[in-house]
Chains A and B, each alone.
Chain A
Amino acid sequence: MSRDDFPSIDMVSNQACLLTFSQVISEATSNYIAQVTQELVTLAGIVDLVPSYTTLLVVFDDDHYDRFAIFKTIRQTIEAIDPTKFSLKDQREVVIPVYYGKEVGPDIEDVAKHCNLSVDEVIKRHCETTYRAYAIGFTPGFAFLGNTPDELHVPRKTTPRLKVPIGSVALAENQTAVYPSITPGGWQIIGRTPVNLIDWGSKNLALIAMGDSVRFEPISRDEFLVQGGQLDGF
């Protein structure tokens, strides 16, 4: 019954196992992981699922499954999936408005210089790409979005900032992200969104879910302020 694309399953503890789908990051792998996550989440005795770029951590109730039973359940679930007939039930396209002003994007000029582009070209490139949410983590609602166009690849800052303001839009290597809460951070900050990334009172809690496609849209300083954006923090 084994298939070429079947993930490997390793026990992490008596309450968790890790499925590894691939050694390389790709959209196909990400789709497959999202699909398996969708199926497993409905099963009894599954406590938590942590999907990431190439893996899925499955946390299970050890009263419900021993290591043999969980292997069997996961195998059967995956065997019933046809990865070629992929459709994400809840995949959404999320559009995030961003004010790219220097007052909220203090690294945008450095990024432009590093990439040999003008500031306007950086904004254009950042907005014309549709990104994929490969993983959510680091802090609640922090979505690792890939891939940025090659011309926008920048290294992390040598010294991370101690406090990155909420809503900051940032770049690092081939990824981009929005900071949902005030945290330390070493990514290059190019702008800010007025939109809330995390809301414990909402149904989905986080604006971006793993597997979503995400676009950025430039807005003016006035639009940013009208939508509730704050200019403080730097």
Chain B
Amino acid sequence: MAFKVIKPGLLALIQDLGRHGHQSIGLTTGGPMDEVAFRWGNALLDNHDNSPQIEITFGMLTLEAQADTSVAITGADLGATLNDRSITPWQTYAIKKGDILAFHQPVWGLRAYLAVKGGFLCEPTLGSVATVMREKIGGLTGKGDKLQKGDRLIYQAGTEHQQRSVPRLAIPDYSQTEIPVILGYQYQSFSVLERANFFSSDYKVSSNSDRMGYRLEGQEVHSNLKGIISEGIAYGAIQIPKDGQPIVLLQDRQTIGGYPKMGCVTRVGGSILAQQKPGDIIQFTPITVDQAEQERHLQMARLAQWR
């Protein structure tokens, strides 16, 4: 049984936690831009952590259910409706055959996640269904396509439904504008003044931002290094190109690059960043590796405890 795609929306992609272990041949990971929301979606339905979901960017997606099931919606509030009745994210909903589930436009945040009981059934490529359009890999077709009108999103039909919602305190605040940055390496190649500028300035999210990276506009920063020998790029790395405008490299990032880096945003920070729209203003705030470890453990413990 399946959801039939009535309107494909701006950008709706099948995602799981990503395709790992192939970066040595240059293949990026993909995966949910807001990993926090993704993990909660599967937790709400008692799915595996890695069960495939739909990442809906902006909205304008309409689905028709062809069988009963239970879904969870997390992440952004995209003005979703179930049979024209408004519904809010961060909880589960019972779906009956013939129901129309629609995501309209952002009310709060940018990317919503639709999880279904048992996960969407989809053939993995290299161990993952994560869609990376640039590399033509993953998704329903295995060829990196976004959802198209008429696509069928297969799930195991069932009438079992549990009304559950994420505890209010665990729901991320997408109006938070401070993005934590781990000062791990290479930040010493920026002078104290450059670092102070970077961490005290407002940056505007550029309209050139996508799943590969978020480009920011604001105070220029410059490294003492002219360039570096190309090296592996970690999730969240903040690359500073020659024009001094930072780029935060996210799920669909290139695997190697030769620009100096100010640091790395955390998964939690990257999840908040990915909910910002072009024109939104953010600031960076420095944290240490052990603070990042604690933040991560807290997040994972909350999920585990709740499950």
Contacts and interface: CB of A to CB of B under 8 A. Distances in A.
Interface string B274-298: 0000000000000001101100100
B266 A14 contact: yes
Contact of B234 (A16, A144, A200): A16
Contacts of B290: 67
Contacts of A14: 182, 266, 289, 292-293, 296
B125 A48 contact: no
Interface in B53-102: none
B289 A56 contact: no
Interface stretch (B21-29, B106-114, B166-174): B21-29
B120 interface: no
Interface stretch (B3-11, B150-158, B224-232): B224-232
A166 interface: no
B254 interface: yes
Given A56-B232, A137-B254, A62 B296 contact: yes
Interface in B210-246: 229-237
Contacts, number: 131
Contacts of A137: 26, 230, 254-257
A11 interface: yes
A15 B26 contact: no
A28 interface: no
Interface in A13-72: 13-18, 25, 37, 47-57, 59, 62-63, 66-67
B230 A47 contact: no
Given A50-B232, A137-B230, A18 B182 contact: no
The CB with the most chain B CB atoms within 10 A, among A13, A18, A209, is that of A13
Interface string A172-201: 000000000100000000000000001010
Contacts of B293: 14, 62, 66-67
A47 B18 CA distance: 11
Given A12-B237, A13-B236, A18-B232, A37 B24 contact: yes
B196 interface: no
Contact of A59 (B229, B231, B234, B292): B234
Interface string B13-40: 0000000111111110100000000000
Contacts of B236: 13
Given A10-B184, A14-B292, A140-B135, A48 B21 contact: yes
B264 A13 contact: yes
Contacts of B237: 12
Given A47-B20, A50-B256, A53-B229, A13 B26 contact: no
A138 B256 contact: yes
A139 interface: yes
A103 to B, nearest CB: 26
The CB with the most chain A CB atoms within 10 A, among B126, B137, B234, B254, is that of B234
Contacts of A200: 125-126, 137
Contacts of A15: 234-235, 267
Nearest to B136: A181
A50 B231 CA distance: 8
B185 interface: yes
Contacts of B182: 11-14
Contacts of B257: 137
Contact of B26 (A47, A66, A141): A141
A57 to B, nearest CB: 3
A132 B264 CA distance: 31
Nearest to B21: A48
5 contacts: A18-B234, A48-B21, A57-B233, A136-B24, A142-B26
- 9 closest cross-chain pairs (CB), A and B: A57-B232, A50-B232, A137-B256, A10-B185, A16-B234, A13-B264, A206-B25, A14-B292, A55-B231
Interface of B: 20-27, 29, 125-126, 135, 137, 182, 184-186, 229-237, 254-257, 264, 266-267, 289-290, 292-293, 296, 300
Interface of A: 10-18, 25, 37, 47-57, 59, 62-63, 66-67, 135-142, 144, 181, 198, 200, 205-206, 209-210
Given A14-B289, A53-B230, A136-B26, 6 more contacts: A50-B232, A57-B23, A59-B20, A67-B293, A136-B24, A209-B24
